[in-house]
Structure 1
Amino acid sequence: MTSLYLDYGYGSHVGLRRELNEDSSVVTDTLFAVADGMGGHEAGEVASSLAVQTLAEGWDAAQGLISRREIQQFIDRADVRIREATDSKAGTTLTGAALIEAENELQWLVFNIGDSRTYMFEDQELVRLTRDHSQVQEMYESGIITAEEIHNHPNRNVITRALGAGEVFDADYFSAPVNAGQRALICSDGLTGELEDGEIAEILGRGESAQETVDILIQQSLRRGGRDNVTVVVVDVKEEQQD
Structure 2
Amino acid sequence: EICVDNANRSIFNASGSNPQYAGMGTTLVVGVFHENTLILGHIGDSRCYRLRGGVLSQITKDHSLLQEQIDAGLITQEQAAGSSIKNLVTRALGVEDVVMMEINEHTVEVGDCYLMCSDGLSDMVDDAEIASILGGPVPMDQKADILIAVANEHGGRDNISVLLVQAQPATEKRGLISRLLGK
Same fold flag (TM > 0.5): yes
Do 2:9 and 2:98's aligned partners in 1 also have CA atoms closer than 8 Å? no
Q: What is the letter of the counterpart of residue 89 of structure 1?
A: G
Residues 1:166 and 1:239: Cα distance change in structure 2 (over 3 Å): same
Q: What is the letter of the counterpart of residue 59 of structure 2?
A: L
Residues 1:95 and 1:151: Cα distance change in structure 2 (over 3 Å): same
Residues 1:139 and 1:114: Cα distance change in structure 2 (over 3 Å): same
The residue number in structure 1 matching 2:90 is: 160
Q: Tell me how far 1:93 sits from its aligned partner.
A: 0.5
Q: Tell me how far 1:189 sits from its aligned partner.
A: 0.7
Q: TM-score, normalized by length of structure 1?
A: 0.64
> Aligned equivalents of 1:140 and 1:167: distance in 2?
28
Runs of 4+ in 1 over 4 A off after TM superposition: none
The residue number in structure 2 matching 1:31 is: none
Q: What is the letter of the counterpart of residue 135 of structure 2?
A: G
Match of 1:93 among 27, 36, 49: 27
Q: Tell me how far 1:168 sits from its aligned partner.
A: 6.1
Do 2:37 and 2:107's aligned partners in 1 also have CA atoms closer than 8 Å? yes
Question: Over aligned residues, Cα RMSD in angstroms?
Answer: 2.1
Match of 1:122 among 44, 52, 61: 52
Q: TM-score, normalized by length of structure 2?
A: 0.83
The residue number in structure 2 matching 1:211 is: 141
Are residue 73 (structure 1) and residue 40 (structure 2) matched? no
Q: Count residues with an aligned counterpart.
A: 168
> Aligned equivalents of 1:166 and 1:151: distance in 2?
28
Do 1:161 and 1:168's aligned partners in 2 also have CA atoms closer than 8 Å? no
Larger Rg: 2
The residue number in structure 2 matching 1:111 is: 41
- Note the 1:24-43 alignment, pairs <5 A: none
> Aligned equivalents of 1:220 and 1:152: distance in 2?
19
Task: Report sequence identity in percent.
Answer: 35
Residues 1:168 and 1:128: Cα distance change in structure 2 (over 3 Å): farther
The residue number in structure 2 matching 1:35 is: none
> Aligned equivalents of 2:106 and 2:74: distance in 1?
31
Which structure has greater strand proportion? 1
> Aligned equivalents of 2:4 and 2:171: distance in 1?
37
Question: Which secondary structure does the structure 2 equivalent of 1:91 belong to?
Answer: coil
> Aligned equivalents of 2:6 and 2:140: distance in 1?
31
Question: Which secondary structure does the structure 1 equivalent of 2:25 belong to?
Answer: strand
Deviates more, 1:168-177 or 1:111-120: 168-177
Do 1:183 and 1:237's aligned partners in 2 also have CA atoms closer than 8 Å? yes
Match of 1:84 among 13, 18, 21: 13
> Aligned equivalents of 2:99 and 2:170: distance in 1?
39
Structure with bigger RCO (C-alpha 8 Å, 6+ apart): 1
5+ residue gaps, structure 1: 1-71
> Aligned equivalents of 1:131 and 1:185: distance in 2?
14
Residues 1:85 and 1:142: Cα distance change in structure 2 (over 3 Å): same
